[in-house]
């Protein structure tokens, strides 16, 4: 869950900078790689957030780890974050940056949760319906939750559209009680 207001501000500012420099795709790829590294390496997360690592040493380690592998614009931003003693929010900045890229491309990420694995055709049908409803390009990910009786839930940001059997039964119950 994204919580840092500072990370959002830095990401928005850097998004504008990358866009102005024409480096948006390269920086996006770099930030996706950094976010991926963060999920795979606890040591990388400790490097970013540990108060025991001096800023000069952190910068030296980040440069040895990333320099030459990522765009110079991305590296200068990481250096800037370290200089401002904000390296601990780098992963959140990467996540916000991806959100801003999706917004600029009119793409909406959704998560479809169902009781059983959905087929490709079913996912595509939901994407088409949601594209028409939201007037955006939809990229869906799927999850399986065996505790659901049937049906599915669609999560769009913090909004949930519940088409599960449980929700339908509760709705029916409410309409009977209120009749």
- Taking only the tens place, the pLDDT of each residue in 7-20 is 999 999 999 999 99
Q: Are 80 and 165 in the same domain?
A: no
In the predicted model, what is the mean pLDDT of residues 155-170? 90
pLDDT in tens, 59-102: 999 999 898 899 999 999 999 999 999 999 999 999 999 999 99
Determine the structural domain holding residue 14 and report its residue range. Answer: 5-103
Q: Are 13 and 74 in the same domain?
A: yes
Q: Are 99 and 110 in the same domain?
A: no
pLDDT in tens, 92-149: 999 999 999 999 999 999 999 998 999 999 999 999 999 999 999 999 999 999 888 8
With beta carbons less than 8 A apart as the criterion, state whether 24 and 18 touch.
yes
Nearest to residue 97, comparing CAs of 157, 28, 45? 28
Contacts of 162 (CB under 8 A, 6+ apart): 153
Res 3: pLDDT: 73
pLDDT at 158 over 70: yes
Q: How many structural domains does the chain have?
A: 2
**How far is 173 from 121, CA to CA, in rounded Å?**
32
CATH classification of the domain holding 37: 1.10.520.20
Res 110: pLDDT: 93
Q: Are 34 and 48 in the same domain?
A: yes
Give the model's confidence band at 4: pLDDT under 50 very low, under 70 low, under 90 confident, else very high. Answer: confident
With beta carbons less than 8 A apart as the criterion, state whether 62 and 78 touch.
yes
With beta carbons less than 8 A apart as the criterion, state whether 71 and 23 touch.
yes
| pTM, rounded to two decimals | 0.77
Q: Are 72 and 16 in the same domain?
A: yes
Contacts of 27 (CB under 8 A, 6+ apart): 14, 18, 71, 73, 74, 77, 97
Of the three residues 73, 88, 103, the one that is the final residue of a domain is: 103
């Amino acid at each position: 869950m994204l919580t840092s207001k500072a990370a959002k501000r830095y990401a928005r500012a850097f998004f504008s900078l990358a866009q102005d420099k024409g480096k948006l795709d390269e920086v996006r790829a770099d930030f996706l790689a950094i976010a991926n590294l963060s999920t795979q390496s606890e040591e990388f997360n400790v490097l970013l957030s540990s108060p025991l690592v001096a800023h000069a040493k952190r910068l030296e380690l980040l440069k040895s780890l990333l320099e030459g592998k990522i765009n110079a614009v991305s590296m200068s931003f990481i250096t800037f974050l370290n200089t401002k003693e904000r390296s601990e929010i780098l992963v959140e900045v990467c996540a916000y940056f991806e959100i801003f890229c999706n917004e600029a491309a009119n793409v909406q990420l959704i998560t479809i949760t169902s009781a059983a694995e959905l087929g490709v055709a079913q996912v595509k049908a939901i994407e088409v319906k949601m594209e028409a409803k939201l007037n955006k390009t939809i990229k869906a990910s799927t999850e399986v939750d065996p505790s659901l009786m049937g049906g599915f839930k669609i999560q769009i940001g913090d909004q949930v559209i519940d088409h599960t059997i449980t929700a339908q039964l509760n709705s029916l119950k409410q309409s009977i009680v209120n009749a």
